RNA sequence: GGGCUUGUAGCUCAGUUGGUUAGAGCGCGCCCCUGAUAAGGGCGAGGUCGUUGGUUCGAAUCCAUCCAGGCCCA
């Protein structure tokens, strides 16, 4: 030791951290490699095997639409699901995950049609379907890759695909059940209609262009009800004044709607038919007078408001009016909240066959869905004679003329407005009632024993009942209310669409146009679809589709003789895609044997699915099984930008998932997701994800330091139980509390709490307090020193616990870390994802549970309190640490830069021998917790009132020599003659090492 | 316009049945260390708890209004 003053010499005698675990993550490079390895190992299958026979937990995946790249919202959803699945599997449950895709539907068909352009017109449905299928396949593959790049684990080799034959067949099986329950019916409903192409159109197939139309004011003469609600008519003809831009729909008029809350005025005015008493919304009187007066100045002669009443009073008076075009038809006044004062008269012409709102009103008020317009746009025989055979555009002037003749036309004008056009033919569309298929939500189910309930009734029961009473659990809890509200207000479910890309509604029609669609006929077709796919609907004959099915043997048919199989033709409607995805609980969860019976454990989607997939899965499940498909419905909010506004491409505030994956890696993105309270909207931006990256580094470095500190530690050989008064014991309590808190947060799906807890644990308990404190003994003690091994024991436990607890959130990083845990027991699984989450020890927690806040009032350490348990004492010791750190900071500013150059003096109230004894017991730990070179204890009689122990820090540079090995300044430096530059401890270690080397 | 929902420091979150000077971590500022080093540590400054009224001895916590977001409808 001739160069004993040279500290580099001693550096070689220290046990410095040693590990291959990279400080820099390199996620972009490593993650794909780790994912490849998982694939090669068949990790998912191995997890399944390992959990075989364990209690099941089924998170049933809601299928994303197979169109486009995934976006941040999809990533949020999938990662949350993945965390759930991983947590459950690591909790020892058998939690398979079968991802799925929704493949049918308009967006894909639209994309394909647009790509085809004009060529699309001449293509048969089967051709369009094949192209759509190829398109969907492409995006299923793309999204599957993207999900797996996010680290999502599941049965990606065999996902569920709604366009696959077995899935299509399963949907029809559910449908057959609903038919059996008497819930499926056919009825008129207005849809957008292209006269040019004689086809129904979806919203997405409409283009809005400006168009000039005639608008008219027409009077409907009141003929019935309590007309005295209008007051004295005084010879005037009482009439309702309506305004419309589609005079051709007047033949189909069945009612006039008013808003109950509005005030209506009675206006005397001169018309061609003499003086009338017109009902007009009070606020629109002037506007109407101006409009009509401009065209017909005479209208204003004697114009005056003679009275008013509320819309509700008009309704209560049960008024009826004579239809202006049809002799003998009288119609009612009905309420409607969609009536506005923006234009018109505040009274709305209602033709249920020609308008969506009118249709809704008709359902509420029991009006017919009447539509005299045929598919070519011409009027049928029920229309007034002068219109029959004419098309709606020809009809407009003729209707106006007829009204004028009758003296009921007050004026007409031309207006330019935005009007829907068929995107293919560019011709204007109309609203026209057509026959559609529905699922009734208010009809009592037929076949459920002992149930008089309707789907709505059963569904409301599911959300009214509490989870422990066979009801559905909602997370967050307000989902229950929202879900119920949406159920309560929903109309019957229109399940038919007039498109090509979808599952055909298995209705066949005889020559009389009557449908054949019974449970058995549908099941027969289902069997065919299972073999051949739904394309068979377009290529096979009805006889082939029906197979062995014989109408004559079908008890569900009243008149089987009317349905000769060889005379049937297939219907052209397809299912609403929601019916397909809404049957997945059966087509996937049950058909694949994930569950024997519903409900499954969990559905987890965005809160938009309250009205979407959740509701539309519940209804078929109730109709088919009388059971909800889910036990728990968990929703998350939407991804919004950093300022809380919705993301949109046009605003340029979107964050691209793939960009982030390429730039930062999946684990960063996952950590960001896991740290969000997803119940509300989730703010997302470059800065926010960058924060997650910072947090990631902290976590990673903590793990790394733990590994480095345990490089020579083998738990099987070196484990040492931490002594009662060591900081290791304190850390042990912290670890068990961590495990408990994180597992509780996992169980409650509060991943952000789990994540925060672990992150702050790494920052505070681990890095700042514990690891800093034990550095000296790790580095300087001899390798086998009890004190050192005890700390390594705790650090190793902490490392293993953290890696497992973090694995559901950071699967790649934890897999990498798993491979770097020193002396990992040989019987531990190859992958962390096959491991189980750590358990916490109740006994250790109960030590912590003994914590009682030491009364702040007297500030006195009653010895009873000190003896309530280690945790109680440690609370106080940590307070002393805090106080000492503040004083060290002051000392640092006064020139003592290194805390090892300071000594701490703990002052105990004179005479308090027991407090003295306790502090003396913990003195070595306090020394390291403060990072000072030396700590001593002394009695003091100048402590402030209420203080039992205080801490002072002193500059020890003049007082003690500095140990050249541990860098601590303490009185025992030089006490060993062989090592005059070392403290007693370090000198002893050097001697021991020297012996060891000999 | 309707239903549901959110609004606490720059950020992410805690704030128990309304009760003393509203907390944490990060970030930020200043400082230290250089034996976790593209690391680590210490201290500190940040909030009229969205607004305005009200209930109360007392409200971030209860009520009402308004403002600004979000989802779903219309």
C-alpha distances out from residue A773 to A385, A779, A787, Å: 99, 11, 12
CA–CA distance, A241 with A250 (Å, rounded to integer): 13
Question: What's the pLDDT at A263?
Answer: 85
Other C-beta atoms lying within 10 Å of the C-beta of residue A468:
7
Q: Is the pLDDT reported for residue A5 higher than 50?
A: no
- The whole-number average pLDDT for the span A970-995 is 92
Q: Is the pLDDT reported for residue A338 higher than 80?
A: no
Burial class (CB in 10 A: 0-12, 13-18, 19+), A711: middle
**Positive or negative torsion for Cα A531, A532, A535, A538:** negative
pTM of the model: 0.90
Question: What's the pLDDT at A31?
Answer: 97
Enter the tokens of residue A793. Answer: 């024991």
pLDDT digits 0-9 by tens, A916-964: 988 999 999 999 999 999 999 999 988 887 788 999 999 999 999 999 9
**Positive or negative torsion for Cα A78, A81, A83, A85:** negative
Whole-number Å distance, CA A883 to C1' B11?
29
Whole-number Å distance, CA A687 to C1' B11?
9
CA–CA distance, A998 with A991 (Å, rounded to integer): 11
CA–CA distance, A211 with A197 (Å, rounded to integer): 20
Whole-number Å distance, CA A372 to C1' B17?
65
Q: Which of A25-34, A333-342, A353-362 has the highest mean pLDDT?
A: A25-34
Strand B reaches within 7 A of the A480 CB: no
Strand B reaches within 7 A of the A7 CB: yes
Residues 740-769 of A with CB under 7 A from strand B: 752-753, 756, 759-760, 763-764, 767-769
Strand B reaches within 7 A of the A772 CB: yes
Q: Which stretch of A13-27, A627-641, A836-850, A935-949 has the lowest confidence by average pLDDT?
A: A836-850
Other C-beta atoms lying within 10 Å of the C-beta of residue A198:
11
Residue A65: pLDDT band with limits 50, 70, 90: very high
DSSP string for A488-526: HH---EE-EE--SSSPBP--EE-TT--EE--HHHHHHHH
- Helices within A117-253 (DSSP H only): 125-149, 165-180
Residue A857: pLDDT band with limits 50, 70, 90: very low
CA–CA distance, A378 with A388 (Å, rounded to integer): 7
The nucleotide minimizing the C1' distance to residue A360's CA is B74
Q: Is the pLDDT reported for residue A370 higher than 70?
A: yes
Reported as half-sphere exposure (CB side, CA atoms, 13 A), residue A25 has a value of: 26
Question: What's the pLDDT at A849?
Answer: 53
CA–CA distance, A265 with A277 (Å, rounded to integer): 10
Residue A465: pLDDT band with limits 50, 70, 90: confident
Residue nearest to nucleotide B27 (CA to C1'): A691
Question: What's the pLDDT at A302?
Answer: 75
More confident residue, A990 or A226: A990
- The whole-number average pLDDT for the span A517-522 is 97
Q: Which of A184-188, A505-509, A824-828 has the highest mean pLDDT?
A: A505-509
Place of tokens 């009873």: A864
The number of angstroms, rounded, from the C-alpha of A795 to the middle of its chain's C-alpha atoms is 38
Question: What's the pLDDT at A856?
Answer: 34
More confident residue, A135 or A315: A135
Residues 337-356 of A with CB under 7 A from strand B: 337-338
- The whole-number average pLDDT for the span A772-798 is 97
Residue A868: pLDDT band with limits 50, 70, 90: low
C-alpha distances out from residue A885 to A61, A69, A882, A952, Å: 52, 52, 5, 10
More confident residue, A301 or A243: A243
CA–CA distance, A294 with A264 (Å, rounded to integer): 22
The nucleotide minimizing the C1' distance to residue A648's CA is B70
Strand B reaches within 7 A of the A646 CB: yes
Enter the tokens of residue A392. Answer: 């709606």
- The whole-number average pLDDT for the span A812-829 is 95
Q: Is the pLDDT reported for residue A996 higher than 60?
A: no
Residue A700: pLDDT band with limits 50, 70, 90: very high
Enter the tokens of residue A55. Answer: 């209690």
Strand B reaches within 7 A of the A634 CB: no
Please report the beta strands in A685-824, taking only residues with DSSP state E, as ranges in sequence order.
none
Q: Which stretch of A363-372, A738-747, A977-986 has the lowest confidence by average pLDDT?
A: A363-372
* Interior angle at CA A920, CA A918 and CA A924, nearest 5: 120
ipTM score for this prediction: 0.96
The nucleotide minimizing the C1' distance to residue A356's CA is B74
- The whole-number average pLDDT for the span A163-174 is 98
Residues 875-914 of A with CB under 7 A from strand B: 882, 885-886, 888-889, 892-893, 897-898
User: Chain B bases under 7 Å from protein CB?
Assistant: 3-6, 11-14, 20, 24-27, 31-44, 69-74
Whole-number Å distance, CA A887 to C1' B43?
10
Q: Are the CB atoms for A382 and A388 separated by under 8 Å? A: no
Q: Which stretch of A151-155, A322-326, A856-860, A891-895 has the lowest confidence by average pLDDT?
A: A856-860
Mean pLDDT of chain A: 90
The closest alpha carbon to A602, from A615, A614, A611, belongs to A614
Letter string b/e over residues A240-270, b meaning 16 or more CB atoms within 10 A of that residue's CB: bbbbbbbbbbbbbbbbbbbbeebebbbbbbb
Q: Which stretch of A275-289, A388-402, A510-524, A634-648 has the lowest confidence by average pLDDT?
A: A275-289
CA–CA distance, A167 with A101 (Å, rounded to integer): 11
CA–CA distance, A241 with A321 (Å, rounded to integer): 11
The number of angstroms, rounded, from the C-alpha of A756 to the middle of its chain's C-alpha atoms is 21
Residue nearest to nucleotide B32 (CA to C1'): A897
The closest alpha carbon to A930, from A887, A965, A866, belongs to A887
Residues 782-801 of A with CB under 7 A from strand B: none
Residues 950-989 of A with CB under 7 A from strand B: 964-967
Residues 682-701 of A with CB under 7 A from strand B: 682-683, 688, 691, 694-695, 697-698, 701
The closest alpha carbon to A821, from A805, A798, A791, A840, belongs to A798
Whole-number Å distance, CA A816 to C1' B12?
27
Question: What's the pLDDT at A274?
Answer: 81
DSSP string for A748-766: TT-HHHHHHHHHHIIIIII
Whole-number Å distance, CA A968 to C1' B45?
33
Whole-number Å distance, CA A681 to C1' B70?
6
Q: Is the pLDDT reported for residue A859 higher than 80?
A: no
Q: Is the pLDDT reported for residue A657 higher than 90?
A: yes
Q: Is the pLDDT reported for residue A869 higher than 80?
A: no
C-alpha distances out from residue A91 to A7, A59, A710, A767, A808, Å: 49, 14, 27, 28, 11
Whole-number Å distance, CA A946 to C1' B60?
33
The nucleotide minimizing the C1' distance to residue A708's CA is B36
Strand B reaches within 7 A of the A592 CB: no
Whole-number Å distance, CA A361 to C1' B73?
16
Question: What's the pLDDT at A449?
Answer: 57
Question: What's the pLDDT at A848?
Answer: 62
């Amino acid at each position: 030791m001739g160069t004993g003053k040279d500290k580099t010499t001693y550096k070689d005698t220290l046990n410095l951290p040693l590990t291959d675990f990279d400080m820099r993550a390199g996620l972009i490079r490593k993650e794909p490699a780790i994912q490849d390895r998982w694939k090669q190992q068949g990790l998912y299958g191995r997890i399944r095997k390992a959990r075989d026979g364990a209690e099941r937990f089924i998170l049933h995946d809601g299928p994303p639409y197979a169109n486009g790249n995934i976006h941040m919202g999809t990533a949020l959803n999938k990662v949350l699901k993945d965390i759930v699945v991983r947590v459950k599997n690591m909790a020892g449950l058998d939690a398979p995950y079968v991802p799925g895709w929704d493949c049918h539907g308009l967006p894909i068909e639209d994309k394909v049609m647009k790509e085809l352009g004009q060529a699309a017109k001449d293509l048969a449905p089967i051709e369009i379907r094949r192209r759509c299928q190829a398109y969907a396949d492409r995006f299923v593959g793309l999204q599957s890759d993207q999900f797996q790049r996010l680290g999502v684990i599941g049965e990606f080799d065999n996902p569920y695909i709604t366009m696959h034959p077995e899935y299509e067949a399963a949907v029809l099986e559910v449908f057959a059940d609903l038919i059996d329950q008497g819930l499926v019916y056919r009825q008129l409903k207005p849809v957008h209609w292209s006269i040019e192409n004689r086809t129904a159109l979806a919203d997405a197939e409409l283009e809005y262009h400006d168009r000039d139309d005639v608008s008219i004011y027409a009077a409907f003469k009141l003929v019935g009800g309590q007309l005295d609600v209008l007051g004295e008519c005084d010879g005037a003809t009482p009439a309702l004044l309506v305004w419309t831009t589609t005079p051709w729909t007047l033949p189909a008029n069945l009612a006039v709607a008013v808003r109950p809350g509005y005030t209506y005025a009675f206006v005397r005015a001169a018309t061609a038919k003499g003086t009338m008493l017109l009902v007009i919304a009070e606020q629109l009187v002037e506007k109407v007078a101006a409009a009509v007066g401009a065209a017909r100045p005479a209208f204003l002669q004697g114009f005056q408001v003679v009275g008013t009443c509320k819309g509700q009073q008009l309704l209560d008076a049960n008024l009826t009016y004579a239809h202006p075009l049809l002799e003998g038809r009288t119609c009612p006044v009905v309420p409607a909240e969609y009536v506005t004062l923006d234009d018109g008269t505040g009274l709305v012409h209602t033709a249920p066959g020609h308008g969506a709102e009118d249709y809704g009103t008709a359902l509420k008020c029991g009006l017919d869905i009447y539509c005299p317009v045929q598919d070519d746009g011409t009027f049928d025989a029920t229309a007034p004679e002068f219109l029959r055979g004419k098309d709606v555009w020809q009809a407009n002037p003729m209707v106006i003329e007829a009204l004028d003749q009758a003296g009921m036309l007050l004026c007409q004008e031309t207006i330019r407005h935005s009007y829907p056009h068929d995107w293919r033919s560019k011709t204007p569309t109309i609203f026209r009632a057509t026959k559609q298929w529905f699922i009734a939500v208010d009809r009592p189910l037929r076949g459920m024993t002992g149930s008089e309930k309707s789907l709505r009734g059963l569904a409301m029961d599911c959300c009214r009942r509490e989870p422990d009473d066979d009801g559905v659990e909602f997370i967050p809890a307000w989902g229950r209310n929202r879900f119920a509200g949406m159920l309560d207000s929903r109309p019957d479910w229109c399940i038919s669409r007039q498109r090509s890309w979808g599952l055909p509604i298995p209705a066949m029609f005889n020559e009389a146009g009557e449908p054949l669609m019974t449970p058995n006929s549908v099941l027969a077709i289902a069997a065919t679809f299972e073999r051949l796919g739904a394309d068979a609907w377009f290529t096979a004959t009805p006889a082939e589709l029906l197979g062995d099915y014989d109408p004559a043997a079908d008890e569900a048919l009243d008149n089987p003789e009317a349905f000769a199989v060889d005379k049937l033709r297939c219907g052209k409607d397809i299912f609403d895609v929601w019916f397909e995805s809404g049957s997945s609980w059966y087509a996937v969860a049950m058909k694949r044997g994930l569950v024997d019976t519903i409900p499954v454990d969990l559905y987890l989607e965005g809160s938009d699915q309250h009205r979407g997939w959740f509701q539309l899965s519940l209804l078929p499940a109730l109709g088919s099984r009388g059971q909800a498909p889910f036990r728990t419905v968990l929703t998350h909010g939407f991804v919004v930008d950093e300022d809380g506004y919705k993301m949109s491409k046009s605003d340029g505030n979107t964050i691209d998932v793939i960009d982030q994956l390429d730039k930062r890696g999946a684990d960063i993105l996952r950590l960001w997701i896991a740290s969000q309270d997803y119940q509300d909207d989730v703010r997302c931006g470059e800065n926010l994800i960058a924060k997650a990256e910072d947090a990631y580094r902290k976590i990673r470095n903590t793990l790394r330091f733990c590994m480095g500190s345990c490089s020579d530690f083998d738990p099987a050989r070196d484990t040492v139980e931490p002594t009662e008064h060591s900081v290791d014991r304190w850390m042990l309590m912290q670890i068990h509390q961590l495990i408990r808190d994180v597992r509780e947060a996992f169980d409650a799906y509060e991943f952000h709490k789990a994540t925060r807890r672990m992150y702050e644990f790494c920052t505070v308990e681990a890095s700042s307090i514990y690891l800093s404190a034990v550095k000296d003994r790790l580095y300087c003690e001899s390798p086998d020193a009890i004190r050192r091994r005890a700390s390594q024991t705790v650090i190793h436990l902490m490392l293993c616990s953290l890696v497992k607890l973090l694995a559901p959130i950071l699967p790649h990083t934890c897999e990498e870390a798993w491979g770097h845990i020193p002396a990992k027991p040989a019987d531990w699984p190859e992958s962390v994802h096959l491991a189980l989450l750590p358990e916490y020890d109740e006994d250790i927690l109960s030590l912590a549970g003994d914590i009682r806040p030491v009364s702040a009032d007297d500030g006195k350490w009653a010895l009873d309190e000190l003896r309530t348990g280690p945790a109680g004492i440690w609370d106080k010791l940590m307070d002393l640490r805090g106080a000492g750190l503040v004083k060290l900071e002051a000392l640092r500013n006064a020139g003592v830069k290194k805390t090892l150059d300071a000594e701490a003096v703990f002052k105990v109230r004179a005479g308090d021998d027991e407090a003295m004894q306790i502090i003396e017991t913990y003195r070595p730990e306090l020394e390291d917790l403060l990072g000072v070179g030396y700590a001593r204890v002394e009695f003091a009689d100048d402590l402030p009132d209420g203080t039992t122990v205080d801490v002072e820090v002193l500059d020890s540079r003049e007082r003690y020599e500095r140990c050249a090995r541990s860098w601590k300044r303490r009185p025992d430096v030089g006490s060993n003659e062989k090592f005059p530059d070392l403290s007693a401890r370090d000198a002893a270690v050097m001697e021991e090492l020297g012996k060891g080397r000999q």
